[in-house]
């Protein structure tokens, strides 16, 4: 149970994340300011997600629709039926919400102010899925979630109206956040309403469509439409596939059209349950030193690619003004399992027409989702609409090999951001470097960097919700919200440099870009070893020598961080970058940032 309201900062190992004050990381940078907290966020002894730092409030929409092309993948079976099948696609769309979303009078308050829970519904079933994933008793896992995050809300508003205003100019503050309540002037020669870029996000093993709400919501708060998929490939703790009584979403249709079989016990209810699928030979194939089950992982990636195809088709329909048709196919309506009480009520689908780009799309993934991203980027002939990719802490072991002469190599700009814990996993880090160099060798700009003091889950919500567990068990040494800020800042800087001209022109996120150039720091000559763990803890946690003394003695702790700052400087380590700016000039689809430090417009209200 969170102890942040009981113990002082120096006992926790880092400051409490809901305060924007200096903390014990090199250079002592503050997280960006968040808006004032509501009553729910002030409840003590409970996990909380901070609001987003961008100039927009955030809306969310949950959609589950039948797949246009249902089918099975591989001959892998569990309980006598194919384990990997595409029947429906489930996604959460994070997007910029309109001004004063909390006080809008045009939409009923019961719909407008509804915030979804972080733990996906039904929460008891999700908790049981996590228990199976972690090999723990179900009642203990349910009690743990009930005491920590059972009622935790995502700081986004269900079915809110899509933003039609421009944000004000000015860099995001670390003290006050007023931009969310302000409207900026539209560009002199541009449209009155902004048209937002599209991001597709793929989660990692053990993840769901809400486990990365901090990253997805941050992108949305800066002016992106983000499609967060919930993969049904057995990589999540537990997910449910809803079926209609008749039509394309029924079991009968999927069995005929997709040659899909169902468990007998599932036919008595209107949904199927997909739990985490362990590798048959070695259930720990994700750990260093274990052999990866490539048959399973390749089939899962293939299913994920099919889900991305289906989700993109849905977004094309919405952008074309056919959102009502999508809503008519939606299966997440009461009394379906996992459906919220508001469903898709209150959404003005006409306001979505031609309001986001369906070209120049960015593919983003974490861990196994980053593995998925690499495969998407390599299949440029299939995903022509994806023009750049971001991989967060890639799990490189299941990445498919590629030869220099192979046509399917990465031919788009790429940004890789590693955690410090995964940087110390030699085999995995070599794959991350090889993937980055693959993009450079095909003539596209690419960067690979590490955020100091982070572990593998630092790019998800878990470190924010459970900072004391991350600090004590995994030895994180950075404020968890600051870690998210660094990932987002580097990602936005990357997108500002490489997005296609027609997509990037006068984008809202360019108005709030940081003056700090994280991608321009000097690359390291040698790999750091300051927090390298013992071999048995490789990729799991960091090592802090004399940890008790450094946590409990303020003077010692201060000297420790000052030593780190003198030894390496900065909050990130850069490993690979383009050899020169000529790499950017070679890329015909890319552009240099619109504003330099000299001519960037100053903040104005």
pTM of the full predicted structure? 0.90
Which residue from 263, 306, 229, 294 is spatially nearest to 73, judged by alpha carbons? Answer: 306
Percent of the chain with pLDDT over 90: 66
> Which residues constitute the domain of residue 386?
9-118+153-586
- Cα angle value 127/132/138 (rounded, 5°): 55
Q: In sequence order, which residues have a C-beta less than 8 Å from that of residue 254 and are 6 or more positions away?
A: 66, 70, 85, 87, 243, 260
269 — pLDDT class (breaks 50, 70, 90): very high
Question: Taking the CB of residue 503, how many other CB atoms lie within 10 A of it?
Answer: 22
Q: With respect to residue 449, please indicate whether it lies within any of the assigned structural domains.
A: yes
Average pLDDT over the chain reads 86
Dist CA 419 CA 487 (whole Å): 10
Per residue in 371-398, pLDDT tens?
999 999 999 999 999 999 999 999 999 9
Cross-strand bridge partners of residue 1: none
Per the structure, how many domains does the chain have?
1
Dist CA 318 CA 355 (whole Å): 9
**Residue 377 main-chain phi, psi, to 5 deg:** -65, -30
Q: With respect to residue 135, please indicate whether it lies within any of the assigned structural domains.
A: no
Q: With respect to residue 161, please indicate whether it lies within any of the assigned structural domains.
A: yes
pLDDT of residue 37: 67
Query: What is the three-class DSSP state of 487?
Result: helix
Q: With respect to residue 132, please indicate whether it lies within any of the assigned structural domains.
A: no
Tell me which of 190 and 588 has the higher pLDDT. 190
69-85 in b/e form (b: 16+ CB < 10 A) is ebbbbeebeeeeebbbb
Dist CA 504 CA 507 (whole Å): 6
Dist CA 95 CA 227 (whole Å): 9
Let me know if 321 is exposed, middle or buried by CB neighbors in 10 A (0-12, 13-18, 19+): middle
Which residue from 25, 360, 3 is spatially nearest to 148, judged by alpha carbons? Answer: 3
Q: What is the CATH number of the domain that holds 418?
A: 3.40.50.1820
Let me know if 241 is exposed, middle or buried by CB neighbors in 10 A (0-12, 13-18, 19+): buried
Alpha helices in 508-581 (DSSP H): 547-552, 554-568
pLDDT of residue 156: 94
Question: Taking the CB of residue 561, how many other CB atoms lie within 10 A of it?
Answer: 17
Rg value, the chain, Cα? 23
Mean predicted confidence (pLDDT) in 188-206 = 93
Q: In sequence order, which residues have a C-beta less than 8 Å from that of residue 145 and are 6 or more positions away?
A: 119, 123, 127, 130
Per residue in 43-87, pLDDT tens?
766 889 999 999 999 999 999 999 999 999 999 998 889 999 999
Mean predicted confidence (pLDDT) in 327-350 = 93
Q: With respect to residue 451, please indicate whether it lies within any of the assigned structural domains.
A: yes
pLDDT of residue 545: 82
């Amino acid at each position: 149970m969170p102890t942040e309201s009981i113990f002082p900062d120096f006992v926790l190992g880092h400051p409490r994340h809901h305060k924007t004050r200096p903390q014990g990381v090199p250079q002592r940078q503050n997280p960006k300011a968040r808006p004032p907290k509501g009553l729910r966020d002030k409840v003590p002894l409970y996990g909380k997600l901070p609001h987003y730092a961008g100039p927009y409030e955030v809306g969310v929409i949950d959609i589950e629709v039948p797949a246009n092309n249902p089918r099975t993948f591989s001959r892998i079976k569990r309980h006598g039926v194919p384990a990997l099948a595409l029947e429906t696609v489930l996604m959460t769309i994070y997007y910029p919400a309109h001004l004063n979303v909390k006080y809008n009078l045009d939409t009923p308050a019961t719909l407008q102010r509804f915030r979804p829970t972080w733990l996906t519904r039904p929460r008891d079933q999700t908790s049981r899925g996590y228990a199976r994933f972690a090999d723990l008793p179900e009642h203990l896992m349910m009690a743990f979630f009930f005491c920590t995050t059972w009622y935790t809300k995502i700081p986004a508003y269900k079915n809110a109206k899509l933003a039609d205003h421009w944000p004000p100019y000015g860099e995001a503050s670390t003290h006050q956040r007023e931009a969310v309540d302000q409207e900026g002037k539209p560009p002199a020669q541009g449209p009155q309403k902004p048209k937002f870029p599209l991001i597709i996000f793929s989660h990692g093993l053990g993840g769901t469509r809400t486990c990365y709400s901090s990253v997805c919501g941050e992108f949305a708060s800066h002016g992106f439409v983000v499609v967060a998929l919930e993969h049904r490939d057995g990589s999540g703790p537990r997910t449910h596939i809803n079926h209609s009584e008749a039509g394309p979403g029924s079991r009968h249709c999927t069995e005929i059209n997709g040659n899909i079989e169902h468990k007998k016990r599932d036919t008595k209810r209107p949904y199927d349950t997909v739990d985490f699928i362990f590798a048959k030979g070695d259930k720990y194939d994700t750990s260093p030193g274990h052999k990866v089950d490539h048959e399973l992982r390749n089939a899962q990636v293939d299913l994920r690619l099919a889900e991305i195809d289906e989700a993109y088709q849905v977004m094309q329909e919405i952008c074309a003004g056919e959102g009502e048709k999508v809503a008519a196919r939606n299966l997440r309506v009461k009394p379906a399992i996992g459906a919220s009480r508001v469903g898709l009520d209150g959404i003005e689908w006409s306001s979505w027409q031609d309001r986001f780009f369906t070209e120049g799309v960015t593919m983003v993934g974490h861990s196994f989702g980053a593995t998925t991203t690499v495969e998407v980027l390599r299949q440029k002939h299939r995903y022509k609409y994806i023009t750049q990719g971001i991989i967060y802490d890639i799990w490189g072991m299941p990445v498919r090999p590629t030869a220099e002469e192979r046509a399917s190599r990465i031919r788009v700009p790429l940004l890789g951001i590693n955690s410090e814990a995964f940087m110390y996993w030699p085999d995995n880090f070599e794959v991350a470097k090889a993937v980055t160099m693959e993009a450079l060798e095909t003539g596209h700009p690419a960067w690979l960097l590490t955020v100091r003091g982070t572990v593998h889950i630092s790019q998800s919500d878990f470190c924010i919700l459970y900072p004391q567990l991350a600090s004590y068990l995994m030895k994180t040494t950075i404020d968890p919200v600051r870690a998210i800020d660094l990932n987002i800042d580097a990602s936005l800087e990357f997108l500002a440099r490489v997005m296609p001209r027609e997509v990037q022109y006068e984008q809202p996120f360019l108005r709030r870009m940081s003056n700090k150039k994280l991608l321009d720091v000097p690359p390291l000559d040698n790999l750091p070893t300051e927090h390298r763990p013992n071999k048995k803890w490789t990729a799991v946690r960091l090592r802090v020598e004399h940890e008790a003394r450094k946590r409990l003695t303020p003077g010692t702790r201060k000297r420790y961080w000052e030593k780190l700052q003198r030894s390496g400087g900065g909050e990130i380590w850069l490993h690979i970058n383009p050899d020169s700016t000529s790499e950017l000039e070679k890329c015909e689809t890319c552009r240099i940032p619109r504003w330099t430090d000299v001519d960037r417009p100053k903040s104005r209200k």
